[in-house]
C-alpha cells in the first residue's frame, strides 16, 4: 500500500526573508507581487493582524506603519534557491518525490512503515529546521488528497497534531469525527466556485463530501471531484508525478514599472522575455514552431486610451535559438505596435513545441554544420548564464538599463545566489 507525505514550508516567502535578517525576528513581514502591487505572502504575525492575502499594498500602508509591518518585493532567485535546498534534503528521505510547487512536495513513503511515519515526518521537519532554518509541516496519508488534508491539520494543530499529522495512525471513526470539523472548501482541488455549489447541495464539511454519492457528483461536476471523494475514502486515484511533463507552451510576461510609450523599450522587453522562454525551451530539449506576442494598455484605467493587440506567427523552421526567436518576435511587435498609447504590459508565448528529436526538417534548413554551431552557441550561452547568473551574457536587443522593468523597490539581496548579496558578519 502506498503512503504519501506532503511537506509544505510555512509562510515560505516571508520565512525566507526573515531567515537572512535576524532583525525581523517576531516582526510582521509581507512579500509583495510584481510591481509591489499586492500582498502575496504573510508571516504568522501579519496573519494574526487579520490582513488578507491579495490586498493591495497601498490600501494597508497606514496599518503597516501602525503595526511596524516590513514589506519586501518578491525575490524569486532567493525563493527558488531555498526551495531547491528543501527538495535536496527531502530526497534523502525518499527516492520518489514530486515537486508540486515552490513550497510543497509529495513523497512516497512506501517501505518506511517500520520506521514509523509519524517519527519519520518529525525527522524531516527537524532536519530542514536544523540545516536551513525553515519551518515545515508534514501531512501523511494513504492518498495524496488525504496527505494534503493531513498537512492542513498539522498547520492548524487539529487532532493534536504539532507540525506532523499522520492519518494512518487514526481509526476510520476518528477520521470521520475530524472530517466533521473541517469545511469542504479546505480540500485540495475544491475551490470557491465548487465549494459554493456544494454548499447549495447541503455539503458543507469534509465528512459530508466523504459520504456523498460519487456518481452523482461526477454527473453534476466532473470526474475530478468524483476522484477526490474516492481519495477521501482512502482509494488512491492520483499517482506521484516524479517526472514533470514537458511544457506544451512557454509563456513569459511582466507588467512594466511605468507606462511604456516607445517602441525601442518594448523591443527590449520582448527580447528579454524571449530569452527567458528560449532558455526554458532548451532545458527541455525542445523546439518551438510559432511565436505569439501581445502588448496591452492598462485595462484597469478605462479612462485612458485602450489598445490590446496580439499576433501569432509560424516559424519557417522550429527553433530553440534565441536569436531566431527574437528576430521573429520583434517582427510581430513592429506589426502590432501603434504609437500614442501607454503600454502597461507585454508578453510572449512559444507555441507548437516539439521534442528536438521529432523535428521535421525542410529543404531550406541550414546545413548540419551550421545547425551544430548554432546549438553549440546556445549551449555556451546557457552554460555561462548558469555559472555567472542569468543575463550575464545576452543579446544586445535586450538592452542595458531596462528602465521598463517592474518596480521592486523593497528587494532584499540575493543572499544565496549572488556574491554581492552574501550576508556580511562582523565581530564587535
Write out pLDDT tens, residues 47-83.
999 999 999 998 999 999 999 999 999 998 899 999 9
pLDDT the model gives residue 366: 57
Distances (CA, A) of 119 to 93, 115, 124, 128, 149: 12, 7, 9, 14, 19
Write out pLDDT tens, residues 222-240.
888 899 999 999 999 888 8
Domains in the chain: ranges and CATH: 1-169 (3.30.70.270), 171-244 (1.10.150.20), 250-398 (3.30.1490.100)
Q: Is 391 left (phi over 0), alpha (psi -120 to 50) or beta?
A: left
Contacts of 159 (CB under 8 A, 6+ apart): 153, 165, 170, 174, 178
Contacts of 125 (CB under 8 A, 6+ apart): 135, 136, 137, 138, 163, 164
Q: With a cut of 60, say whether residue 408 has pLDDT above it.
A: yes
Write out pLDDT tens, residues 95-106.
899 999 999 999
Q: With a cut of 60, say whether residue 365 has pLDDT above it.
A: no
Q: Dihedral, CA atoms, 313, 314, 320, 324, nearest 10 degrees?
A: -60
Write out pLDDT tens, residues 250-275.
999 888 888 999 999 999 999 999 99
Mean pLDDT, the chain, as a whole number?
89
- The DSSP 8-state label assigned to residue 7 in this structure reads E
Q: With a cut of 70, say whether residue 362 has pLDDT above it.
A: no
What pTM did the predictor assign? Answer: 0.76
Q: With a cut of 80, say whether residue 358 has pLDDT above it.
A: no
Write out pLDDT tens, residues 300-335.
888 999 999 999 999 988 999 999 999 999 999 999
Greatest C-alpha distance within the chain: 71
Confidence of residue 417 (pLDDT cuts 50, 70, 90): confident
- Give the span between the Cα atoms of 29 and 15, in whole angstroms: 9
- In this structure, what C-alpha cell is assigned to residue 391? 543575463
Contacts of 227 (CB under 8 A, 6+ apart): 237, 238
Amino acid at each position: 500500500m502506498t503512503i504519501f507525505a506532503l511537506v509544505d514550508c510555512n509562510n515560505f516567502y516571508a520565512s525566507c526573508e526573515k531567515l537572512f535578517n535576524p532583525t525581523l525576528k517576531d516582526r510582521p513581514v509581507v512579500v509583495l507581487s510584481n510591481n509591489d502591487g499586492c500582498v502575496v505572502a504573510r508571516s504568522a504575525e501579519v496573519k494574526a493582524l487579520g490582513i488578507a492575502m491579495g490586498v493591495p499594498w497601498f490600501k494597508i500602508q497606514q496599518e503597516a506603519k501602525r503595526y511596524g509591518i516590513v514589506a519586501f518585493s518578491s525575490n524569486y532567485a532567493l525563493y527558488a534557491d531555498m526551495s531547491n535546498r528543501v527538495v535536496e534534503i527531502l530526497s534523502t528521505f525518499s527516492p520518489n518525490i514530486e515537486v508540486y510547487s515552490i513550497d510543497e512536495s509529495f513523497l512516497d513513503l512506501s517501505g518506511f512503515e517500520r520506521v514509523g511515519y509519524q517519527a519519520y515526518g518529525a525527522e524531516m521537519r527537524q532536519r530542514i529546521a536544523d540545516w536551513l532554518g525553515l519551518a515545515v509541516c508534514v501531512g501523511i496519508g494513504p492518498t495524496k488528497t488525504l496527505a494534503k488534508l493531513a498537512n492542513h491539520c498539522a498547520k492548524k494543530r487539529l487532532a493534536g497534531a504539532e507540525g506532523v499529522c499522520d492519518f494512518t495512525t487514526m481509526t476510520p471513526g476518528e477520521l470521520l469525527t475530524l472530517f466533521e470539523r473541517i469545511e469542504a472548501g479546505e480540500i485540495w482541488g475544491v475551490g470557491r466556485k465548487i465549494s459554493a455549489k456544494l454548499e447549495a447541495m447541503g455539503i458543507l464539511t469534509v465528512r459530508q463530501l466523504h459520504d456523498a454519492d460519487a456518481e452523482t457528483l461526477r454527473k453534476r461536476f466532473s470526474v475530478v471531484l468524483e476522484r477526490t471523494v474516492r481519495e477521501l475514502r482512502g482509494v488512491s486515484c492520483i499517482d506521484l508525478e516524479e517526472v514533470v511533463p514537458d511544457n506544451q507552451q512557454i509563456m513569459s510576461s511582466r507588467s512594466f514599472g511605468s507606462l511604456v510609450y516607445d517602441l525601442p523599450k518594448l523591443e527590449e522587453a520582448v527580447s528579454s522575455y524571449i530569452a527567458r522562454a528560449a532558455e526554458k525551451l532548451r532545458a527541455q530539449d525542445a523546439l518551438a514552431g510559432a511565436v505569439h506576442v501581445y502588448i496591452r494598455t492598462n485595462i484597469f484605467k478605462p479612462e485612458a486610451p485602450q489598445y490590446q493587440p496580439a499576433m501569432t506567427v509560424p516559424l519557417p523552421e522550429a527553433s530553440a535559438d534565441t536569436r531566431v526567436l527574437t528576430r521573429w518576435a520583434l517582427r510581430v511587435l513592429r506589426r502590432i505596435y501603434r504609437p500614442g498609447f501607454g503600454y502597461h504590459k507585454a508578453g510572449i508565448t512559444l507555441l507548437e513545441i516539439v521534442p528536438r528529436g521529432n523535428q521535421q526538417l525542410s529543404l531550406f534548413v541550414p546545413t548540419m554544420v551550421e545547425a551544430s554551431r548554432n546549438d553549440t552557441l546556445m549551449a555556451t550561452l546557457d552554460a555561462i548564464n548558469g555559472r555567472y547568473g542569468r543575463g550575464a551574457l545576452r543579446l544586445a536587443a535586450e538592452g542595458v538599463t531596462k528602465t521598463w522593468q517592474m518596480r521592486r523597490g523593497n528587494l532584499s539581496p540575493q543572499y544565496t545566489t549572488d556574491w554581492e548579496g552574501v550576508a556580511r558578519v562582523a565581530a564587535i
